[in-house]
Amino acid sequence: VFFEMPSMQLTVDTSWWTRYRSRDFNPDLDPSHIFPQAVPTLNSGQHTAIPRNDNDTTNGTQIQAIANTAAFHFGFIEQGGTSIYPTLALRVTDKVVLRILLSIGPSETMHFQTWHGKAGNAVQPPFNVTFGGLTFPDLTDGGEDFQPNLIMPEPCPFLSRKFPAVSIIRPVSISKNIFGARVVVKAFKDDGLFIGQHPEFFKVVGELAEEADEAPGSDGD
């Protein structure tokens, strides 16, 4: 058995927050653009998203920080799912597989929007706590690129800058240097989600991701 309970040593990429608020940049068109972190301290060090023992539940500020971490981490996971299903759909040729992707993908987006809203609570009073080296800033005055209540994708460039901005899922590129199954697996590894897994787990997941990225289908961006 190589699927073990992941350790809660998470380094959470919170740049999805600003990516979905950006009106000027789309990772499919601007793969080198760096979107700012909404919660920089979450993207540094390792943090738990669940109480590790009863002691973690006795301090109200600490348990709020744990809950906030969970909200941003779920948002990170679900935004990945929101992107990977349409990306894979662009590669499949079997209609049953396409049906699976088109049926599950929208539910991932619903999950993402739910956790996006939950994460919004973490960056406005009274929930934007500081505990230890972890600080959840008050983003209510952070401008449109950080505004907590903007949980719908803001319009951004799509396909080409000669077209009007559109509210879209991003990224969905199947260019392997921009996005794809291997990019998602690497992001989850960097996040710490797979800490403690058996080496065989990484072998299997890596092979599956490679096969998914090499599947026939559209080669466009």
Q: What percent of the chain has pLDDT over 90?
A: 76
Lookup result for tokens 């466009």 = 220
State residue 130 phi and psi, 5-degree precision: -120, 130
pLDDT, tens digit (0-9, with 9 covering 90-100), for 170-215: 999 988 778 888 999 999 999 998 888 888 999 999 999 998 888 7
Q: Which of 15-19, 90-94, 169-173 has the lowest mean pLDDT?
A: 90-94
31 in a domain, yes or no?
yes
Per the structure, the count of domains in the chain is 1
pLDDT of residue 116: 96
7 vs 16: CA distance, rounded Å: 23
Residue 100: Cβ within 10 Å count: 15
pLDDT over 50 at 2, yes or no: no
Distances (CA, A) of 98 to 5, 80, 102, 107, 170: 31, 18, 6, 15, 19
Q: Given a cut of 70, is residue 219 above it in pLDDT?
A: no
Three-state SS for 197? coil
Let me know how many helices (H) and strands (E) the chain has, helices first.
5, 2
Look at 212 and 36; give whichever has higher pLDDT. 36
Does residue 5 fall inside a structural domain? no
Q: Is residue 104 part of a domain?
A: yes
Flag whether 4 is in a domain. no
Exposed/middle/buried for residue 189 (C-beta within 10 Å: 0-12, 13-18, 19+): middle
Band (5; pLDDT cuts 50, 70, 90): very low
Q: Which residues contact 28 (CB under 8 A, 6 or more apart)?
A: 170, 171, 172, 173, 178, 179, 221
Full residue range of the structural domain in which residue 47 is found: 15-213
pLDDT tens digits along 114-146: 999 999 999 999 999 999 899 999 999 888 999
Task: Give the predicted TM-score (pTM) of the model.
Answer: 0.90
